[in-house]
Structure 1
Amino acid sequence: MNFAHLAAAAPYTTPPLWRILTKSSYFAGLCGAIGFTVTYAAVALPALRAPENERGDVAVLRRRAARSLAWAGVVLLVVGYFQLAARVARAGKGMPFGDALAPGRIRDFLSAPAAKGAWVAQGTIYLVQNIVLVLASASLIALFSPVARRHLNALALTALPLSLAVTLIPAIPATAPADTDRVLDLVFGQVHIISGTVWIGGLALLVTLAGARRHLSENAGLLWADIWRRFSLVALVCVGAVLTSGLWMSWKHVGGIGQLWTTAYGLFLLVKTLLVLGMVAAGAFNQFWLMPRIARARRADATASLLHLTLRHFPKVVWTEVALGIGVLAIVPFLSGSARPAGSPAPVATGSIFAVGAALVLTLAASLCITAKTSDALSRRQVAAAS
């Protein structure tokens, strides 16, 4: 995921180690906060509410989900502080990262006056962001308490919009965007971040929940079949959003295909792209091979087979996706600058560019719809074969 701001082209420079660690860990924290809360709300919660599920299985997964969300809050709070210090270190003429960790330095950064022509001070925007970050973290960390776990749904649904705001608030420009391209840069950047964190974080949450299989009943396969089905739809939407926003940002930063292997930025982008395609391939395997077999086992009421597919085979593939996602996060800090030559102006979108982009988006949307329908058709075929 290329989370860098899309401004004028700049020569590529390798980021310092502290920048690599703070940026990777920050986006990992967002994966936990955003990915976990969205996946719990959109996937786990509806499945757990189904009346046919055994109460013991529901209780086990609720406890594990609560602990996972609580730890996500801890991680977000810690990495948020280091990310703020990294901003301080890079502000103005810059300073050593160790100095930027001092509360006094952070206070000065957050209280700095607005720049000329700005409607609000940049430090104020970051102050609001970090206040929201603390509130999101507190909502999740509260789930360590057995009393608070009784209100798991309310706390998770409270933390969800707060977690989204953590990434949306700093994207608010302190000065009016210069042109439409700059607005689109901000929009696509946030689409890329949110869809990517939901995808990677959601996978991580579900494999964590699947780790409780020893404590589940033999009928838990039905519950997990519903969970994987729901997440498959969420993942399809995330894939479409990641690829669409990624195409825009790649067009902005890469002048030609050859720059993918002749520049440092291009090589990192190429590696990231291959990792994302690996995640897509693993997801396609789930859609076209595992989901139809899960549907067949569910229809045939094959409890043992369903449990094996949903809690052994499926998580193994998802773990592969998680590993690839971690690789993507490790690449993120290196995607700074541009593959374009120094001094080369950033491209400007025209009517023809928008037309081509719209055609690509429609083609991608159609392919994802075909993927979903094909998976559904294969599932029905498996069911018919079992009847």
Structure 2
Amino acid sequence: MISISLAAEAGYAVPPLWRILTKAGYFIGLSGAIGATVTYAASIRPALRAPENDRGDVGVIRRRTAGYLAWAGVVLLVAGYFQLAGRVARAGKGMPFGEALAPGLIWDFLRAPAAKGAWIAQGTIYLVQNLVLVLASAVLISLFLPRARRRLDALALTALPLTLAVTLVAAVPATKPKDADKWLDLVFSQTHIVSGVVWAGGLTLLATLAGARGRLSQDAGALWADVWGRFAFVALTCVGAVFTSGLWLSWKHVGSVSQLWTTTYGLFLLVKILLVLGMVTAGGVNQFWLMPRIARARRDDATSSLLRLTLGHFPKVVWGEVALGIAVLAIVPFLGGSARSEAGSPSVVSSGSVFAMGAVLVLALAASLYITVRTSDALARRTAPAVS
């Protein structure tokens, strides 16, 4: 592995500990808030509204979801404050992170005038972002109150666009991007962030909720089969978005395959890629092995097998995905700079041939995801036993 001294010579600077913790914490906060609200809206809420599900089971899942979302609001609020202090510490000539935590310095940073040529002050953008963050956190934190929990649907659906706006507002450029590539960088970066936190955050929420097995009835397997089935579509969509945006970002920052192991940035990116592939592999186990068995157990009305699969086997694999997802978030703070700049490679500009190649790769990815779904459905229709 390249030593830190060599990395420094090549233009890579290892981020300070406070930067690692604040950035990783910020993305954990986004995962908890965005991932949980999107997953509740797309996967949990529709399953809970099905009339055939036991009302007691529905009540347990709703209470645990409300508690999870409330704590997600707390984490988002705290992580957002430290992230903002980190921005202050890096602004201008920089300052110690401990000093940047002072509210007065943060307020001065947010009120700083716009730079020459900017259409809006960067501090104003962060001010709006953090106002939205506080509002989103307040909506989620209100779910600690018993009266608010009775309005879980309304509050979760209100928090969803607010949590998404936290990252989207922060990406608004203070100056007009110079060319189309800069616009694409913004779009693909936000696509990468949102799809990644929905994927990781959704897995964490569902794995946590599955811990309520002891409080659920023997018929809860059907409810959870519906939840896992709906989230499978969400996860596949996120995988497609992560890979599509990741291809663009990797092409912009890595000049050749060899730079993945000859530059510090490339090494961290390679580790991240391997971790993501591990998550995809674990998801493949669910999609090709567990989901077909869940479908057959549900079709055969095998209550005990269905409960064992949905709340026994499935969450174990999901917890493995969660661990890998946390590791990915821990790598993110180290992805500063570019392998191209470290290796002295020239920057690149998109062209018609690049877009054509990208379109081919995206279509191939879409086809592979479609084949994944069709194969899983075909396996579910087989007459093999529900549990092997």
TM-score band w.r.t. shorter chain: over 0.9
CA displacement at 1:383 relative to structure 2: 7.5
User: Contact 1:11–1:339 (CA<8 Å) still a contact in 2?
Assistant: no
**Counterpart position of 1:353:** 354
**Counterpart position of 2:47:** 47
Q: How does 1:14-29 map to 2 (within 5 A)?
A: 14-29=14-29
User: Contact 1:143–1:149 (CA<8 Å) still a contact in 2?
Assistant: yes
User: Contact 2:255–2:345 (CA<8 Å) still a contact in 1?
Assistant: no
For structure 1, the residue ranges without an aligned partner over 5 or more in a row are 1-9
Q: Distance in 2 between matches of 1:325 and 1:303?
A: 32
**Counterpart position of 1:71:** 71
Q: Distance in 1 between matches of 2:341 and 2:23?
A: 25
Deviations 1:342-369 (A, max 9, x none): 5644211011000000100000001001
**Counterpart position of 1:222:** 222
User: Contact 2:72–2:140 (CA<8 Å) still a contact in 1?
Assistant: yes
Deviations 1:289-323 (A, max 9, x none): 00010011111111000000000000000000000
CA displacement at 1:382 relative to structure 2: 3.9
In the superposition, the TM-score normalised over structure 2's length comes to 0.96
**Counterpart position of 1:89:** 89
**Counterpart position of 2:333:** 333
CA displacement at 1:341 relative to structure 2: 3.5
- The code of the aligned residue for 1:227 comes to V
Q: Distance in 1 between matches of 2:261 and 2:191?
A: 27
More RCO (CA 8 Å, sep 6+):
1
- The code of the aligned residue for 2:251 comes to W
User: Contact 1:11–1:338 (CA<8 Å) still a contact in 2?
Assistant: no
Q: Distance in 2 between matches of 1:341 and 1:319?
A: 37
Q: Distance in 1 between matches of 2:334 and 2:175?
A: 27
User: Contact 1:293–1:382 (CA<8 Å) still a contact in 2?
Assistant: no
CA displacement at 1:11 relative to structure 2: 2.5
**Counterpart position of 2:156:** 156
Alignment CA distance shift 1:379-1:45 (3 Å): same
**Counterpart position of 1:245:** 245
- The code of the aligned residue for 1:253 comes to H
Q: Distance in 2 between matches of 1:25 and 1:286?
A: 28
**Counterpart position of 1:174:** 174
Q: Distance in 1 between matches of 2:89 and 2:252?
A: 27
Q: Distance in 1 between matches of 2:349 and 2:91?
A: 28
Q: Does 1:102 align with 2:78?
A: no
- The code of the aligned residue for 1:61 comes to I
- The code of the aligned residue for 2:333 comes to P
Q: Does 1:376 align with 2:377?
A: yes
Q: Which SS does the other structure have where 1:340 is aligned?
A: helix
- The code of the aligned residue for 2:151 comes to H
- The code of the aligned residue for 2:200 comes to I
**Counterpart position of 2:4:** none
Q: Distance in 1 between matches of 2:272 and 2:365?
A: 19
Alignment size in residue pairs: 377
CA displacement at 1:12 relative to structure 2: 1.6
Q: Which SS does the other structure have where 1:313 is aligned?
A: helix
Q: Which SS does the other structure have where 2:329 is aligned?
A: helix
Q: Distance in 1 between matches of 2:291 and 2:153?
A: 28
User: Contact 2:305–2:386 (CA<8 Å) still a contact in 1?
Assistant: no
In the superposition, the TM-score normalised over structure 1's length comes to 0.96
Q: Which SS does the other structure have where 2:257 is aligned?
A: coil
Structure 1 vs Structure 2 CA RMSD = 1.3
User: Contact 2:293–2:386 (CA<8 Å) still a contact in 1?
Assistant: no
User: Contact 2:38–2:160 (CA<8 Å) still a contact in 1?
Assistant: yes
**Counterpart position of 2:257:** 257
Alignment CA distance shift 1:385-1:123 (3 Å): closer
Deviations 1:214-250 (A, max 9, x none): 0000000000000000000000000000011011111
For structure 2, the residue ranges without an aligned partner over 5 or more in a row are 1-9
User: Contact 1:67–1:143 (CA<8 Å) still a contact in 2?
Assistant: yes
Runs (4 or more) in structure 1 with deviation over 6 Å come to 383-386
CA displacement at 1:380 relative to structure 2: 1.3
User: Contact 1:299–1:383 (CA<8 Å) still a contact in 2?
Assistant: no
